[in-house]
A and B are shown apart, each in its own frame.
Chain A
Amino acid sequence: EVQLLESGGGLEQPGGSLRLSCATSGFTFSNYAMSWVRQAPGKGLEWVSIISGSGGRTYYADSVKGRFTISRDNSKNTLYLQMNSLRAEDTALYHCAKTGVVVGAGTARVYFDYWGQGTLVTVSS
């Protein structure tokens, strides 16, 4: 059974930093891309970032580029999101998601087939 468990959320001041973690089990972690998707209170889904299975390729939403860094430790089956220079608009429930992805030349495929329950990040003074 695939399981994804996020942690690391909390209350942080604007300009501060947080590191989210996503512990996984039930699949061969290194074989799959992983993503972070967030949802502000009462709002829709917003994709944040994707990392390839090897960790060698990453993509970011413009809203977080230069402030957030996605990474993974395949020896620990764990995904991370380092969040710096936090803003009030980063307040959201952050989900990690196992990702099916093929991008590049030709038809691109991205889908999120398993999701964690999320960890809440609140940015406020």
Chain B
Amino acid sequence: QSVLTQPPSVSAAPGQKVTISCSGSSSNIGNNYVSWYQQLPGTAPKLLIFDNNKRPSGIPDRFSGSKSGTSATLGITGLQTGDEADYYCGAWDSSLSVVLFGGGTKLTVL
């Protein structure tokens, strides 16, 4: 049921900015809120963004979220080696009444 599409991998140099896209449809991203998660190697996922662009307490403002139409984007500025992780988007699908996750994007900080 993974109908949210993310690029498998992205990379950038330390200090640079990277964006990760998440594409869906009108039944999920187009009409519902998107959340983003960071999963560092060997750890549980961590909520980075909820309601498209809100950061939980403790998440630095280097992380940002946006949405336009049926796509959402996670932005990370001032990249650090510690940001190397897998990133997932998620959203409710109103037609299927299920939660969908993207397939995940592996971020490499070169």
B interface residues, how many (CB within 8 angstroms): 31
Contact with B along A78-119 (1 / 0, CB 8 A): 000000000000000001000011010001111111111110
Bound-complex Cα distance A19 to B43 (A): 23
The reply to whether A107 and B31 contact each other, CB–CB distance below 8 Å, is: yes
Of the residues A60, A110, A116, contact of B90 by C-beta under 8 Å: A110
Give the chain B neighbours of A108 by CB distance below 8 A.
Answer: 31-33, 91-92, 94
The reply to whether B1 and A103 contact each other, CB–CB distance below 8 Å, is: no
Nearest residue in A to B47 (C-beta to C-beta)? A113
Count A-B pairs with CB separation below 8 Å.
86
A116 CB to nearest B CB, Å: 7
Nearest residue in B to A60 (C-beta to C-beta)? B98
Contact with A along B10-39 (1 / 0, CB 8 A): 000000000000000000000111010101
Question: Is B68 among interface residues, defined by CB-CB distance under 8 A?
Answer: no
The reply to whether B97 and A59 contact each other, CB–CB distance below 8 Å, is: yes
The reply to whether A100 and B50 contact each other, CB–CB distance below 8 Å, is: yes
